[in-house]
Amino acid sequence: MTNGWIDIKNTDMMLIIGGNPAENHPCGFKWPIEAKRQRNAKMIVVDPRFTRTAATADLFVQIRAGADIAFLGGMIRYAVENNRVAKDYLIHYTNAAFVVQEGFKLPEDGLFSGFDAAKGTYDRSSWSYEGVDRPGGLAYDLALENPRSVYQLLKQQYSRYTPEMVERITGIPKEQFLKAADLFTSIRKDGDMKKVATILYAVGFTHHSSATQTIRTAAILQLLLGNVGRAGGGVNALRGHSNIQGATDMAGVFDILPGYLKMPNPADTDFKAYLERITPKVAKPGPWESYNYWSNTNKFAVSLLKAMYGDAAKKENDWAFHYLPKIDRNYSWTEIWDGMYAGHVKGLLAFGMNGVAIGPNAQKNINALKKADWLVVCEIYPDETSEFWKSPGITTEEMKQINTTVYRLPGAGFAEKDGTFVNSARWLQWKSAALPLPGMAKLDQEILARIFLKVRELYKKEGGKFPDPVLNASWSYTDPHNPSLSEIAREINGRALADVTDPKLNQTIKAGQQLPGFAWLRDDGSTMSGNWLYCGSWTEAGAMMQRRGTEDPSGLGIYPNWGWSWPSNRRVLYNRASCDPAGVPWDPDRKQIWWNEAQQKWVGPDVPDFKADSPPKDHMGPFIMNYEGVGRLFVPLAGLADGPFPEHYEPAESPVANPLHPGQSTNPIAKKFHSDMDKLGTVAEGYNIVCTTYRLTEHYHYWTKNNPMNVQLMPEPFVELPAELADDLGLRGGEHIKVTSARGHYIAKAMVTRRIKPMTIDGKKVYQIGIPIHWGYRGIAEDEGKTALTPANMLSPAVTDPNAYTPEFKGFLVKVEKV
């Protein structure tokens, strides 16, 4: 989230799209309700189903799954056409005025300039600003009239997203769309800047083959309306699970290192080349300033390598840069299963991750595991992944042919371990262990440490391939076999390895002391930090993430002394943009930070997400992590794989050809797999119903099916379908329905409802159905024989977004029949 949960109470307008917070974040949802109760804020909910979030909305709009870009693109057009844009904000805080170089082409035919049909990728060199190499800086036009200005291109791009086109793609009747567009943009009526709107989304945005661009469309809309950086505004990823935000920050994903540093590439022949490639250079209009905070990448990277490899990371060996693997292709989630199915991923360590049930294309994941040599599962309950070898349909004979060795290790439940979770508001919060471990269970860190130290011992004894990183990973924990998480947390924050002095502050951090913040990181090996973003979370003053200060002097819900939020305890990102160019808050009633002329610095209840002493006259952009310093309506060059502006593409499986450009219906560079298990269905083959998957408030993923209370609340799997479709099938609620996709089938009871209505998509009647994902073949109901033992993700396709590599769990095609 750019903002935070409590901050939602400050809003005047909410657009909840691609998310269902009432069901999936109930306690966070108190803040939207608070905004309604305390400020009479309005709530618009857009979803394929009338959800429990919709039940409290002022306006509900049913949309076809996979059509959000069309809806939001239509909103952008409406805002522009009706002059409901934040003009000053747009000119000064976004790249609206920048000029795009000649040769760039919008996707009227479905393709941006530079498409390479043979490779299926874009040559992105034409997606660039004019004047990048000019000494005077980037070309710009503050009047926003240059036909190649970002603003004019944006206007042109979304001029095609008329209410009629929105209706054809999304299935939302024109009048209803206009009602929603008018309501949402009403906060910028007559150019008034006081009011603020927020957009809340979750995996309804991300589970698509154009996921990243869907989020981008929301971001563009928010920049147009001047809502980013402001209390009650922002683009807010509600995220899903307890520490998904933390796992991303800490680089639990293949393409990054902690703190969002990019992974090394084989072309990075040395550390210098790596830094050269990943450190962005400032590009801006001459008279403006850009902080370009990523210019400190060298300090972050050296400090990370010092944390990982200690004394073995020296200037002479490029800080042990070559200890890290170099990657030049995609190793994401679906690639793991494809690689294992192809036979080259031989072993898998799954710690608290039920890959079979999570899918997509669960049967492929099961078949992949059959080919693996070994599998190590650390879990607290028996799960589908550890028992893939006896999944439904496998005979005793077949079981004998499955040669995978499976270790199932009992790990620790949340109450038995301490450590930090990061919530979607970027708050780090430490939790304490309440209980001893049950039975023979062990702490996760002990299990990992013992495996790793054993491997290290073997390399010491026997030697082997490139043992250096294994032997030299820094491991100076008091109990090496069971490292304490508080020790690790201090390592992540980082400390001085030699005395570090800041002459400007006239302050010295002594060797061995914890660093107070990332401004202290150095690139000469005198500091170490496991994650620069978390530098400041555990200082000499103690564990900031353990703080429990309940005071909120501003009343804005900042709670500056509760826990600690990255970066630098800033609660609303880009908060410089909450003020006008002169440094005065847009709304005097919601003052987050402001420029204090006497003190010559930015002050206020929140920590400025900005260079604290940069005066407004210098015109430094508020988006300090972008090298231009401004928000990007247009994303230049390598920023995104599939276009500098979002364009609506149909899901990989779609009931219609793209009404914008039938010739290029789907995302041209969405990743598809080609194994014999990866089939896509078509309407011609009878797959004519749009299916979406989702979560229920009563259950948590594949976990609470082991909990009797949650099972009592929602005892059995079901399929939600429109009453009209049920009538067509002669099906009544409670009877069994079989859902079939090109990949597998799913059987459950039918929930016949009026909360999902049939839709008209491009003139064609289309039904949507929904399946909650929470069941599989191990659980209370499953073990009692009350279910068909089919995970919902037997149905979903392994087609992924080209930027975030997230699979299309929502909006694929199925056919249904009564059982």
Partner 1 sequence: MTPTRRSFLKAGTGGAIVSLLGFDLRSAYAQSRDLKISRTTETRSTCPYCSVSCGVIIHTLGDKAKNVTAQVVHVEGDPDHPINRGTLCPKGSSLQQDIVNPRRLLKPQVRRPGSDHWEDISWEMAFDEIAHKVKKTRDDTFIETDDKGRTVNRCEGIAWNGGCTDTNEFNYLVVKTMRSLGVCYLENQARV
Partner 2 sequence: MSSGNLRVQKISGHAGPVAGEGTQRQEQVCKLIDTTTCIGCKACEVACMEWNDLPFGETVFDNTYQTMPETRWNYWNLIKFNEHPREDGSMQWLMRKDQCMHCADPGCLAACPADNAIVQYQNGIVDFQQEYCIGCQYCVTGCPFNIPKFNPQTKKMFKCTLCTDRVSQGLEPACIKACPTGCLHFGTKDDMKELAGARAQQLREHSGYANAGVYDPVGVGGTSVIYVLHDITNPEAYGGLPSDPRVPWAVRIWKQPLKWLGNLAMIGGLIGVTMHYLRFGPKKVKDDE
Footprint (CB under 8 A) of partner 1, residues 512-551 = 530-531, 534, 548, 550
438 contacts which partner out of partner 1, partner 2, none, CB within 5 to 8 A by kind? partner 1
Q: How far is the CB of 747 from partner 2 (least distance, A)?
A: 13
Residue 80 CA to residue 154 CA, distance in Å, equals 9
Looking at beta carbons only, is 135 or 708 nearer to partner 2? 708
Choosing among partner 1, partner 2, none, which partner's interface includes residue 55 (Cβ < 5 to 8 Å by kind)?
A: partner 2
User: Site residues for partner 1, window 691-710 (CB under 8 A)?
Assistant: 697-701, 703-704, 706-710
Q: Which two tokens stand for residue 361?
A: 């294309």
CA distance 12 to 408: 50
CB atoms inside a 10 Å sphere around CB 440: 7
Tell me whether strands 347-351 and 261-262 are parallel, antiparallel or unpaired.
Answer: unpaired
Could you say which of partner 2, partner 1, none residue 572 binds, taking C-beta under 5 to 8 angstroms by partner kind? Answer: none
Q: What residues make contact with partner 2 under the rule CB under 8 A?
A: 22-23, 26-27, 29-30, 33-34, 36-37, 40, 50, 52-56, 58, 60, 697-698, 708-709, 712-716, 718, 732-734, 749-755
- Binding residues for partner 1 restricted to 222-261, rule: CB under 8 A: 238-254, 257-258
Residues 6 or more apart whose CB falls under 8 angstroms from that of 181 comprise 74, 75, 78, 79, 163
606 binds, among partner 2, partner 1, none (CB under 5 to 8 A by kind): none
Q: Select 13 or 356, whichever has its Cβ closest to partner 2.
A: 13
In the bound state with partner 1, the residue whose beta carbon lies nearer, of 385 and 665, is 385
Q: Judged by CB under 8 A, which of 95, 445, 569, 654 binds partner 1?
A: 445
Between 130 and 724, name the residue whose CB sits nearer to partner 2: 724
Strand segments, DSSP code E, in 590-717 are 594-596, 601-603, 671-672, 689-694
Q: Smallest gap, in angstroms, from Cβ of residue 793 to partner 1? A: 10
Select from 485, 379, 492 the least CA-distant residue to 430: 485
**Footprint (CB under 8 A) of partner 1, residues 454-473:** 454-455, 457-459, 462, 464-466, 469-470, 472-473
Nearer to partner 2, 41 or 535 (CB): 41
**Nearest approach, Cβ of residue 744 and partner 1 (Å):** 18
CA distances (Å), 449 to each of 442, 463, 736, in order?
A: 11, 20, 48
Q: Which residues pair with 596 in a beta bridge?
A: 601
| 43 half-sphere exposure, CB direction, 13 A CA radius | 26
241 or 749: CB nearest partner 2: 749
**In angstroms, what is the minimal distance from the CB of 611 to partner 2?**
39
Among 97, 324, 577, 677, binds partner 1 (CB under 8 A): 324
Beta pairing partners, 509: 500
* Minimum CB–partner distance for residue 673 and partner 1 (Å): 15
Which helix (DSSP H) or strand (DSSP E) does residue 71 occupy? helix 68-81
353 touches, from partner 1, partner 2, none (C-beta below 5 to 8 Å by class):
partner 1
CA pair distance 217, 17, nearest whole angstrom: 12
For residue 54, the partner it binds in partner 2, partner 1, none, with Cβ less than 5 to 8 A by kind, is partner 2
Cβ atoms of 504 and 534 closer than 8 Å: no
Q: What is the 3-state secondary structure (H, E, C) of 72-141?
A: HHHHHHHHHHCCCCCHHHHHHHEHHHEEECCCCCCCCCCCCCCEECCCCEECHHHCCECCCCCCCECCEC
Least Å distance, CB 324 to partner 2, is: 43
**Count, residues in the chain:** 819
Beta strand pairing call for 59-62 and 42-47? parallel
Q: How far is the CB of 745 from partner 1 (least distance, A)?
A: 22
CA distance 411 to 475: 22
- Say if residue 525 is exposed, middle or buried (CB neighbours under 10 Å; 0-12, 13-18, 19+): middle
Contacts to partner 1 from residues 562-581, by CB under 8 A: 562
Burial of residue 723 (CB within 10 Å: 0-12, 13-18, 19+) is middle
Min dist CB 82 to partner 2, Å, is: 23
- Binding to partner 1 (CB under 8 A): which residues in 477-496? 483, 485, 488-489, 491-492
Give whichever of 617 and 732 is closer to partner 2, judged by the CB atom: 732
The C-alpha atoms of residue 720 and residue 746 are separated, in whole angstroms, by: 13
Under rule CB under 8 A, residue 498 binds partner 1: no
d(CA 755, CA 768): 11
Are 635 and 213 spatial neighbours (Cβ–Cβ below 8 Å)? Answer: no
- Per CB under 8 A, which of residues 285..314 are in contact with partner 1? 308
Q: Which is nearer to partner 2, 62 or 212 (CB)?
A: 62
> d(Cα 452, Cα 449) in Å, to the nearest integer?
5
| Helices 174-185 & 163-170 angle (0-180, nearest 10) | 110
The residue count for binding partner 1 (CB under 8 A) is: 162
Q: Is the dihedral of CA 798, 801, 804, 808 positive or negative?
A: negative
Site string for partner 1, 382-411 (x = CB under 8 A): x---x--xx-----x--xxxxxxxxxxxxx
- Pair of tokens at residue 320: 């042990």
Contact with partner 1 (CB under 8 A): which of 806, 811, 812, 815?
Answer: 806
Whichever of 28 and 226 has its CB closer to partner 1, that residue is 28
Q: Which listed range, 25-33, 99-107, 186-194, 721-729, lies at the site for partner 1 (CB under 8 A)? A: 25-33
Residue 575 in contact with residue 585, Cβ under 8 Å? no
Number of Cβ atoms within 10 Å of the Cβ of 94: 28
The reply on whether position 813 binds partner 1 by CB under 8 A is no
Q: Which stretch binds partner 1 (CB under 8 A): 67-75, 136-144, 441-449, 498-506?
A: 441-449
Nearer CB in complex with partner 2: 173/583:
173
Strand partners, 429: 421
Least distance from C-beta 622 to partner 2, angstroms?
33
Which is closer to partner 1, CB of 403 or CB of 600?
403
Any residues with CB less than 8 A from the CB of 737 and at least 6 apart, and which?
A: 719, 721, 729, 731, 747, 748, 749, 750, 816, 817, 818, 819
Of residues 333 through 362, those in contact with partner 1 by CB under 8 A are 333, 335-336, 339-340, 344-353, 355, 358
Q: Which does 464 bind (CB under 5 to 8 A by kind): partner 1, partner 2, none?
A: partner 1
Give the residue with the Cβ less far from partner 2, 58 or 468: 58
Q: Which of 245/614 has CB closer to partner 1? A: 245
- With contact defined as beta carbons under 8 Å apart, do 447 and 378 qualify? yes
Backbone angles phi, psi at 526, to 5 degrees: -90, -5
58 interacts with, out of partner 2, partner 1, none, CB within 5 to 8 A per kind: partner 2
How far is it, in rounded angstroms, from Cα 100 to Cα 146?
10
Nearer CB in complex with partner 1: 667/800: 800
Q: Which is nearer to partner 2, 142 or 434 (CB)?
A: 434
Residue placing its CB nearer to partner 2 in the complex, 669 or 714: 714
Alpha-carbon Rg for the chain in angstroms: 27
- Supply the minimum distance, in Å, between the C-beta of residue 716 and partner 2: 4
Sign of the alpha-carbon torsion through 242, 247, 252, 255: positive
Q: In the block, which residue shows the tokens 């049909």? A: 117
435 binds partner 1 (CB under 8 A): yes
Residues 6+ apart with CB under 8 A from 696: 23, 714, 772, 774
Q: To the nearest whole angstrom, how small is the minimum distance from the Cβ of residue 29 to partner 2?
A: 6
Q: How far is the CB of 552 from partner 2 (least distance, A)?
A: 17
Nearer to partner 2, 344 or 754 (CB): 754
